[in-house]
Amino acid sequence: MRTLLTAAKLWDGASLLDHPILEIEDGFIRSIGSRASAEPLDPLAGRGFRSPASILSEHGATAVIIEDGKTTHHFPGALLAPAFFDVHFHGAGGHDVMEATPDALYAIGSLAARHGTGSYLATTVTAPLDKTLRALSGLAKLIKQPNLIQNQKTNPAARPIGIHLEGPFLSHAKRGVQPAEHLMAPDIGIFDRLFEAAEGQMRLMTLAPELPGAVELAAHATARGVRVSLGHSDATMAQTRAAIAAGAVSATHTFNAMRALDHREPGILGTVLTTDSLYAELICDGIHVAPEMVKLWWKAKGQDRAILVSDAMSATGMPDGEYQLGGFPVQVANGRATARGVLAGSVLTLDCALRNFVQFTGATVEHGVRLMTANPAKMTGLTEQAGSLRVGEAANLVAVDSAGKLVASIQSGRLMNNAAAS
């Protein structure tokens, strides 16, 4: 059966289209047009939309029409956009990505998919080296064989399309909850062991630029195709600039675990906010960063360099209680995840991040979706796998309203359950 999606607008990762009609067949995008250019495809045309014989169900801002072998999902007033791509994602649904098992990644991915995320970088935390090596090896195999994750499961799940190595090359002074005993000085030999264990799937690495050997490691990792993100750092402006010159392209959860801004020594934060070429992540949950600072970040980085991330951990989508982040305990209560009194990741989903971003900054939802689709895809070099809508590709997309609320999540051409309730 063919499925048609209609909405007020569609953003394909590069441009906006008014009054779109997107056609899906067998889980893939068959065509993208508009009511002006592809009128024969539009079952709503010329009928004023409300046909009692064909409307089977209607709820909230959506309507479902079945006729002539086609199912049409109509989202009046909404924007269709690519499914979200989260480049900083530790887990959800009671599981951590470092478990690196098919069942764990399915549980994680199915919850993320219901909230609009179609792909993510499986993000590690600092741990004993042998444990990290095992996790990277397991993750690499599952990334290369995504059918092992899906494994006959009923509902589609968001897919890991790479690995983000967060640690062990981080600052002791700004480690947050990263275990101090497992932090390491930048070492090209150790990095190469980690890189080889990841079988080419390491796409991003967080690095503190002030550590001895960090600039050399940034250049080495960049030469091997790994993007370097600066974070968990007490670096000065000069140290940060040196790492950028060596190839660093982004900043990890801007403001958090960074040297505070000073008017005489801007440090890493001042450098991140004023370096136009640098991408910058932000956790937009209203807990990690105050709304006023979200607005400052948005003004500084703009629509081409800002990236929204979740930094979600295993408690995401779960009731309050104690959970694991890479093997150490985290307590979750009232939306806050902490370990030893320090923030330890989040329970944020990207649909909520989008809603908060629009509310905090006054930006349009069209701007907002860029920050979790095209921008992370460009930063990581994964534009062929995420961040856009193209004919012939898997039908992974979202419908969001003008306030950034998720109206629907469509994964592999299927409308996910519970999306509108997120």
Known catalytic membership, residue 311:
yes
Rounded to whole angstroms, the Cα distance separating 21 from 35 reads 7
User: What does the pLDDT read at residue 44?
Assistant: 42
pLDDT tens, 358-372?
Answer: 999 999 999 999 999
Rounded to whole angstroms, the Cα distance separating 172 from 333 reads 27
Q: Does position 153 have pLDDT exceeding 50, yes or no?
A: yes
CATH assignment at residue 21: 2.30.40.10
Q: Is residue 282 part of a domain?
A: yes
167 lies in the same domain as 96: yes
75 lies in the same domain as 102: no
From the candidates 12, 96, 285, 311, give the one annotated as an active-site residue: 311
Q: Is residue 147 part of a domain?
A: yes
Q: Does position 50 have pLDDT exceeding 60, yes or no?
A: no
Q: Is residue 246 part of a domain?
A: yes
- Are 365 and 79 within 8 A, CB to CB? yes
User: What does the pLDDT read at residue 243?
Assistant: 98
16 lies in the same domain as 147: no
Q: Is residue 421 part of a domain?
A: no
The chain-wide mean pLDDT, for the chain, equals: 92
Task: Return the minimum-mean-pLDDT range out of 133-142, 245-254, 397-406, 408-417.
Answer: 408-417
Q: Is residue 422 part of a domain?
A: no
- Are 299 and 274 within 8 A, CB to CB? no
Give residue 55's domain range. 2-81+391-415
211 lies in the same domain as 68: no
CATH assignment at residue 201: 3.20.20.140
Structure tokens at 315: 């408690």
12 lies in the same domain as 131: no
57 lies in the same domain as 108: no
367 lies in the same domain as 404: no
Output DSSP code: residue 180.
Answer: G
* Number of domains observed in the structure of the chain: 2
Rounded to whole angstroms, the Cα distance separating 379 from 159 reads 18
